[in-house]
Amino acid sequence: MFIPSAATPDSSIAHNLKHLFVLRNAVIVCYLLGVVAASSKLNLHVPLLPLIIVISIYGILNVISWLQLRAQPLVTINTFFLQLTIDVAALSAMLFLTGGSANPFVSLLLLPLVIVATTAPPRYAWGMAGITIASYTFLMFFFTPLHSVGAHQSGDFNQHIIGMWFSFLLGVGLILFFVVKLADSLREREHTLAEAREKALRDEHLVSLGTFAAGAAHELGTPLATMAVISKELQNALIHRPEMSEQTEQTKILREQIERCKQTLTQISARTGQSRAEEIIQLPLDHYLNQVLQQWHLMRPTVTLQPRWHGAQPAPQIVVDETISQALINILNNAADASPQAVEMIADWDNEQLWLEINDRGKGLNATAQAAVGTPFFTTKKEGQGLGLFLAHAVIERLGGKIAIDNRKGGGARVKIRLPLKGLLINR
């Protein structure tokens, strides 16, 4: 059962109470129409003044409940059950004034029972069953009879049959309305729970990866330092030999890549259990994007990139978040692996949102890859680890953004990113 406990406020119960508000309005309108038809068309004597008083009180209570729901959007199951008990009492009072159990609208007493049975724990359903049975039993012996005015007795039964038919149609319509809405609420809640389970699983993967990354940073520090020393000595040895200019250039690139690896490991070690409050870097958004591209170009110097910025100037000042930088670099690396000569990055922004689009002209993604992209350890590359897009998804969604991947017309893949700037702005 999706409703938690009696004392726990829940938004789903409030959602059901909103549907109940609509049902009450429908019952009030239909009962008023039935009273008008009974008194004018069927020539039945109806105590209009007491009935109008009861309906007015019922309507006022309905409005008060709606106002309380708007002021306090979370409702407990006990409050919801009390509201349905009020419905039974109001309907019983109206039936008492209009023929009791002989009134065709008596079947409406089943509505609160159906609602409780489909939304609340069993003990509430049994309680509501007892209340409705007691109400029906009371109406069998205590009621205000409806007297015909100038009508033949032979037509009373036909009128009753017509009334029962109309009451049945009304009951079917109201029950169907609530059950359909309830089913929608259940599906929405299941979807929310599925997303929460997926997020918990993703967070578990991220914690594992973080632990592994911290250990790897510690273990790789020594071999990288050794490689840096050897590559420096090799470069110094080659720099005085003009015939080895090509090897000298390659050694220079090797040293730059080693330094990049050392910087990355230093950042990982520095963030492990340490506050970044004293390391805040502020940059205009366009300067930050250019900085990311410069860092990426050091890793992939041979790739042709076409950046285009369309945001308003001056660009908003943001706090640099290295996790976003790493996410963008991972996406750019994937695009470069697919088509080194045709990578495109387009950015647009305002003071609240950043829109990014990274395009390539590779083979694109098939249906299987599109369904699995962004999940951990899924990759379409022979030497890939399946973590780049997974980490990018996690970082963007952590900041409230969205990332979508599809195929471009003419071939290739397109990554669209929408990132709210609220968490990155300086004056947030």
Distances (CA, A) of 65 to 71, 73, 363: 10, 11, 59
At 1 the pLDDT is 33
Buried b (16+ CB within 10 A) or exposed e, 384-396: eebbbbbbbbbbb
Instruction: Identify whether the C-beta of residue 390 lies closer than 8 Å to the C-beta of residue 405.
Output: no
Residue 194: Cβ within 10 Å count: 10
Identify the three-state secondary structure at position 153.
coil
d(CA 321, CA 280): 9
d(CA 186, CA 372): 26
What's the chain's average pLDDT? Answer: 76
Total residues found in the chain within this entry: 428
- Amino acid at residue number 61: L
- In this prediction, residue 190 has a pLDDT band, given cuts at 50, 70 and 90, of confident
Poorest-pLDDT segment among 97-111, 134-148, 235-249, 269-283? 269-283
The position carrying tokens 């109001």 is: 90
- In this prediction, residue 350 has a pLDDT band, given cuts at 50, 70 and 90, of confident
State mean pLDDT over 112-127. Answer: 82
Residue scoring higher pLDDT (47 or 165): 47
CATH of 281-420, one of 3.30.565.10, 2.30.30.40, 3.40.1000.10, 3.30.2270.10: 3.30.565.10
Residue scoring higher pLDDT (422 or 376): 422
First to last CA, the chain: 41
Confidence check: pLDDT of 233 > 50: yes
pLDDT in tens, 153-189: 445 555 655 666 666 566 656 666 666 666 677 777 7
- In this prediction, residue 86 has a pLDDT band, given cuts at 50, 70 and 90, of very high
Residue scoring higher pLDDT (275 or 102): 102
